[in-house]
Each structure stands twice: as C-alpha cells, then as structure tokens.
Amino acid sequence: MLEYVSPDRSPRAPRRDGVVVAFSESLVGVTNVPGAATSTAACAVDCGTDVTEAYVVLAEGPDYRIGLVRVAGVLEGADLTRTVRAVPAGAPIEAVPGADRVLTRDDLAQWNALGLAITSADLVGVMRGVLDATVAYAADRRQYGVPIGSFQAVAHLLAEAHTLMEGSHSVALHASWAADNLVPLEALSAGRIAKAYCARAARTVCETAIQVHGGIGNTWECMAHVYLRRALLSTQWFGDDGEHLRALARERLGSE
C-alpha cells in the first residue's frame, strides 16, 4: 500500500485499500512507465487475496505521477511467506482519483529511503527469528551426551551470527530515523548503507543457522530454510547489497 506523506504528515495522495506497488522484475525499483501502458513485465510483492491493483510511476518530463495497473496471476518464487503477483507487459495504466500532485525526484528518493529502511528492518527480524530457533535447537540437541551448543565451534558460529544481527539492528534503526529526519538524498544514502549491511549479514546468519542444524537443516522439516527464503526476497527487494554499494561508490567516489 502506498501513501505519500509530507513532512507535516498531511497526506499527498488518497489511501486505497488492496493496492501495493509494482516493481521491475529485478525488484530493484518501482516500475517506471513512459507511456499509457507497461512496456515490460513487472511484479507486485506481498499481495494479499484482496489485492487487485498496483501503483506504478509515470514519467512526466523531469517529474512523475502515480498510476494504477491491474495485477494478474501469482508468480512462483523462493519466499514461502509472501505472495508475488504478476503485472503483464502492455497492461493499461489508469489514473489515481485525487492524486493530482506532481512527484519530484526528491519524493522518489524519500520513498526509496523508506523502502530501504523497511526491508532492512525485515531482514533484522528474519535474523532474530532464525537465531532464536537455532539457539534453542543448539541447547536441546545433544551429541556425545552434551548439548551441541556447548561445543566451541558451534558457540563461535552463533556468537558471530548474533553480532551480525545486532549490528544490523543498529544500522537499520539509523536508516529508519533518517527516513523521517534527513533530507531525501541523505536519507537515501543511510538506507543504502543499511540495506547493504543487512543483506550480507542476513545471508550469513541464515546459512549459519542451517549449518548449526546439521543434516536436518537441509530438509523441509526444519524451518531454517523458510527464514533463508524470506531473506533472499527481502535482499532483492529495493536492490541487493551490490546494487547499493555501487550506488554509494558513484555518489561518494565518482566511480562508474
């Protein structure tokens, strides 16, 4: 669901239930439409059964407006906890009633900063959940008459994973604060840093959880793979660590 809000918290566009945002197939950014219909296929993430429409961005000179497209069938993907719906190429764009305000690049930067903060927070939640489950397993699973969590190698793995999760928590909190308190481009940079850190940490933490679970960690009976699958989608959503590290390099170092 998308609702543009000004710094004084007044709404800029009407709230519509059952609407999410359409993304490019790579999930890096919101679908940008140059004409009256989608030029390429897109997808809408986290669609409930009531979702029938998705927002897209319409280019209008140097500025933008938002439009609506109809979503189609469900796409198969790694994440078992969220539904992704297809937006076919050539889908007609409809106007959003009451959404007459033109959006600037700063508006999109602020919105992307919020999206990066949200997906970073989601990754922190994934890490915390899978670590809680894995620590409990390590305390319960016994080998050679003692819990496997008492083995130094396992303890080191879990301690490193916990450190990565706590570091991710801190950087995600800063990105969340920045989305409301910094100018759009600075907030976007804070979001990029958070997403890059959290994306790399989440993959390591989830893979560590599977390793600590041992053989059962690679089976459907173990929930560790569900956390990893969600982390993979959240990593791609709004761009992965490589995408944002390259963007930060361009911004701060002027590299190509």
The CA distances from residue 83 to 19, 73, 76, in Å, are 13, 10, 8
pLDDT at res. 46: 85
- How sure is the predictor about 256, in pLDDT bands with cuts at 50, 70 and 90? low
- Phi then psi for residue 131, to 5 deg, are -70, -40
Q: Name the more confident of 176 and 16.
A: 176
pLDDT at res. 18: 59
Residue 202 contacts by C-beta under 8 Å, 6 or more apart in sequence? 123, 126, 127, 168, 231, 234, 235
d(CA 147, CA 201): 26
pLDDT at res. 110: 94
pTM: 0.88
Residue 24 has pLDDT above 90, yes or no: no
3-class SS letters over 129-172: HHHHHHHHHHHHCEECCEEHHHCHHHHHHHHHHHHHHHHHHHHH
Tens-place pLDDT, residues 67-85: 889 898 888 888 999 999 9
- Phi then psi for residue 42, to 5 deg, are -140, 180
pLDDT at res. 6: 38
